[in-house]
A and B are shown apart, each in its own frame.
Chain A
Amino acid sequence: MTTMFSGASNLAEGVDRAFIFIFSVAFIFIIAIVALIFYILIHFSRKKNKNPQQFSGNTTLEIIWTVIPVIIVLIMFYFGWAGFAPMRKVPADAMPIKVIGRMWVWSFDYGNGKISKDLVVPLNKDIKLNLYSEDVNHGFFVPAFRVKEDVIPGYNNYMWFRAISKGTYDIFCTEYCGLAHSGMTGKVIVLDNADFDKWFADLKVSDNTVHPGLAIIKQNACLTCHSLDGTKIIGPSFKGIWGSKRIVVTAQGEKEMEGNDEYIRRSILDPNADVVKGFNKGLMQSYKEVLKAEDIDKIVDYFKTAGGQK
């Protein structure tokens, strides 16, 4: 079970106070305006009132309904600022966790090669999230904590919070990032200290060395169109590409080709020459000007030795 909206972090109270103030004022004004409209429509209807008054202004009223809204919005501003200001004041001893956003998955790096797919945090401990994007803009949002910050490549954005209630909470990506944007979700799991220590001790050190070919594939956003897991997106998946037979459409007609060194190179440099049957021509441009020869070697090696295997 995930909890949707209970304020589960130290920052929620300030945010909710601003919500309540703004919505209360809005509610009063909207009710008053609607009531006045109905009063006018009934009391001053053409049936009842044949003598429209011809006044056309009143300076005192104009001043009143300028000054009062100014005061009200300044109070609203204050609540908004007061709820927001603590979000930017990260306690010095907060526990840092690196959030990695990539199309379309979150991962959480606790340091020393310990990477988790869930964000697991101890209860009542200040946590600082350093937000890192591997490709395009993402947005890191935990509704129950009332925190959100964009994850932008090249930027060192951050956020912090202290979870004050045990449970499991949703993470959503809130900056549109392409095909599976709505699938880029995750979980925050808040454990008490003992459980957290146990979980952390059990967290395996993952093999952190990314194949250099895969790194290049990610940097160039190839995965926007070609999945690693067999999903059909815009182009054929990379899964099992090495050595597999496929029907391609060429200028001369259809033929069968094998996923090998030559085929992969041509697909990168002249992508529209041999298009796998069932996919559209013209969607991919040549990477001749983008990728260096040694980069392409690394990509081929990646398919040969790791990611392209069946």
Chain B
Amino acid sequence: MNNQTTTTPLNFLNHQTGLWSWLTSTDHKRIGLLYMYSIVTFFLVAAVLGLLMKIEKSAPGETIMTAQTYNALFTLHGIIMIFIVVIPGLAAVFGNIFLPIMIGAKDVAFPKLNLFSFYLFLTGAGLGLYSQFANGHSPDTGWTFYVPYSAEASSNVVIALTAAFTLGFASILTGLNFIVTIHTMRAPGMSWFRMPLFPWSLYATAWIQLLATPVVGITLLMVIAERTLHVGFFDPKLGGDPVLYQHLFWIYSHPAVYVMILPAMGVVTEIFPTFSQKPVFGYVPIALSSLAIALVGYFVWGHHMFTSGMSYESRWFFSLLTFLVAIPSAIKVFNWLSTMYGGSVDLQPPLLYAISFIFLFTIGGFTGLTLGSVATDIQVHNTDFVVAHFHYIIFGGMGFGFFAGIHYWFPKIYGKLYSIRWANIGWGILFTGFNLLYFPMFIMGIQGMPRRYFDYDPKFQLGQTISTIGAIILFTGLITMISNLIYHAYKGATAPANPWHGVTLEWQIPSPPPHENFDEIPVITRGPYVFDNPHTTK
């Protein structure tokens, strides 16, 4: 390195310049940022679709769009959010940027495969968009593509399915890359139980991506074969079984929920010790609970199908297993709270988001138990209650986990500081809007308001209107938060290498990190969360 004498030290952002150097980079940090810019763009598009749906539902009957448009919008909102934003989201962005650094490596195990995964992801995302506009007619099956409707509907289902299939492959390859990276590239002395907990959560996630995603890939291919070659897998008219489709779909899509939430748990697990200046409480239980979630998560898919006509025995047995998967999540919550307890707690924006994560995730978790219990699920299945539940888990969990992560690592990635004041204001608007938007949907769901309803009975008017107001507030909060970050990525004050006084490896290198992270690979002699000199001044 001959850059020590220049005024701006070379780092991964500026050691090469030009668009081409980004598009062909195999640097894990640049690939992480490419994912982030793509995913945030898609997120905002899908968020606008969600907002439009909510405005449509501000009053009964048709307000701003037709039923066909509404059905296409919730399908597109679901496909983008689930397959393009939430499933890859945290692992592809922060996993790519920070996994190698946190385990003391210069890159992932297969950097070229990593770049290839990104282009597979872009191809899949592009196909997803194309399916919305090709032939002037959008898919209207919902993101779950349930047959027989998806086998018969006249819209571009095949293209949308191919998109999901392609995105699935990007996910498999990223998972594979991370598993090999963690197995083979940890710095000397970093035993498994000296590894930070964010990499642990990525490890558990990667196994789900690798083992569960092929199932949905095959299933989607079967639907394509059914539509184009009229092979009867699922459509009863061709001799198929529609419930078989639901089994195959959820064998993947339930574990996929843990692909979304586990890395978010990993992110907040990094944040609590840093802002308390205190070691993680219960390191081993937290690490193992990630693996437990990944493992038990494979065996609970049937809880999406309690009303599908499954046998009596399968219904209660899936219910029992579902309750067990709640335990590792509960263990994590108690350990996070104990991590802060007794610390010197500095309520900066990353911690604010991490604490909101606990709150929203706990509500999502308990309403999940309501859905895991067969009797109560019978009432709230396929109602707004489910929609509220998974937005509390996915948006309140994965989303707020992501927001916590970007506020935590922003100074490291860009070497700049954002405005704490505006971050706090953005959080306040976002958090208020979130609860106004989704909480009424729990109540309406219990009262019987079905999901995916373009129109509704006027007795649901009050809840729907509050929810619409919440959506507008939430969207304002999102814009506030993102504007603060974008503005300060350019104009922010220079950040020190370790603004929050973290102790994991990413805080021991310059901000932004240099091209290959470490001049010299560090040798690890102890666990990741040892605070020798806790920093307790403001």
Contact = CB atoms under 8 A, between A and B. Distances in A.
Interface of A: 4-5, 14-15, 18-19, 22-23, 25-26, 29-30, 33-34, 36-37, 40-41, 44-47, 49-58, 61-62, 65-66, 69-70, 73-74, 76-77, 79-85, 87-88, 135-137, 139, 141, 143-144, 146-150, 152-155, 157, 170, 172-183, 185, 219, 221, 224-225, 233-234, 280, 282-285, 289-290
B334 interface: yes
B289 to A, nearest CB: 9
Given A37-B358, A280-B135, A182 B319 contact: no
Nearest to B326: A73
Given A34-B359, A84-B316, A52 B343 contact: yes
A26 to B, nearest CB: 4
B516 interface: no
Nearest to A30: B362
Contacts of A174: 307, 381-383, 450-451
Contacts of B358: 33, 37
Nearest to A149: B307
Contact of A50 (B309, B331, B536): B536
Interface in B306-337: 307-309, 312, 315-316, 319-320, 323-324, 326-327, 330-331, 333-335, 337
Interface stretch (B3-11, B160-168, B277-285): B277-285
A282 B373 contact: no
B341 interface: yes
Contacts of A14: 375
B373 A182 contact: no
A281 to B, nearest CB: 8
Residue among A88, A154, A225 facing the most chain B CB atoms (10 A cut-off): A154
Contact of A283 (B137, B337, B367): B137
A34 to B, nearest CB: 7
Interface in B433-459: 446-448, 450-457, 459
Interface string B125-166: 000000000011100111000101100111100000000000
Contacts of A148: 307, 378-379, 381-382
Given A53-B278, A137-B146, A80 B377 contact: yes
Contact of B323 (A36, A77, A87, A155): A77
Given A141-B450, A148-B378, A155-B243, 15 more contacts: A26-B370, A30-B366, A37-B337, A40-B337, A45-B347, A52-B278, A53-B278, A73-B324, A73-B369, A136-B148, A148-B381, A172-B448, A174-B381, A179-B68, A182-B450
Contact of A46 (B135, B446, B538): B538
A195 B520 CA distance: 88
Interface in B480-538: 529, 531, 534, 536-538
Contacts of A285: 154
Residue among B335, B382, B451, B454 facing the most chain A CB atoms (10 A cut-off): B382
B327 A66 contact: yes
B226 interface: no
Contacts of B149: 136-137, 176-178
Contacts of A136: 148-149, 152
Contact of B376 (A15, A52, A152, A172): A15
Nearest to B151: A136
B112 interface: no
A135 B148 contact: yes
A74 B282 contact: no
A19 B308 CA distance: 21
Interface string B267-284: 000000000111111111
A303 to B, nearest CB: 20
B344 A50 contact: yes
Contacts of A5: 446-448
Nearest to B348: A46
B194 to A, nearest CB: 13
Given A77-B323, A182-B450, A182-B453, A289 B242 contact: no
A143 B278 contact: no
Nearest to B75: A176
B110 to A, nearest CB: 35
B18 interface: no
9 interchain residue pairs of minimum CB distance: A143-B448, A80-B373, A83-B375, A154-B236, A26-B366, A182-B453, A84-B374, A56-B279, A174-B382
A280 B536 CA distance: 67
B374 A283 contact: no
B346 to A, nearest CB: 4
A174 B537 CA distance: 56
B313 to A, nearest CB: 10
B195 to A, nearest CB: 15
Residue among A5, A57, A155, A234 facing the most chain B CB atoms (10 A cut-off): A57
B308 A150 contact: yes
Given A65-B331, A81-B374, A182-B456, A56 B277 contact: no
B71 A178 contact: yes
Contacts of A81: 316, 319, 373-375
A65 B289 CA distance: 13
Given A84-B315, A136-B148, A225 B154 contact: yes
28 contacts: A14-B375, A29-B362, A33-B358, A36-B341, A37-B358, A40-B340, A47-B538, A50-B537, A51-B534, A58-B338, A76-B323, A77-B320, A80-B319, A80-B372, A80-B377, A84-B316, A88-B312, A139-B307, A141-B450, A148-B378, A152-B242, A154-B236, A176-B149, A181-B71, A182-B452, A182-B453, A221-B152, A233-B68
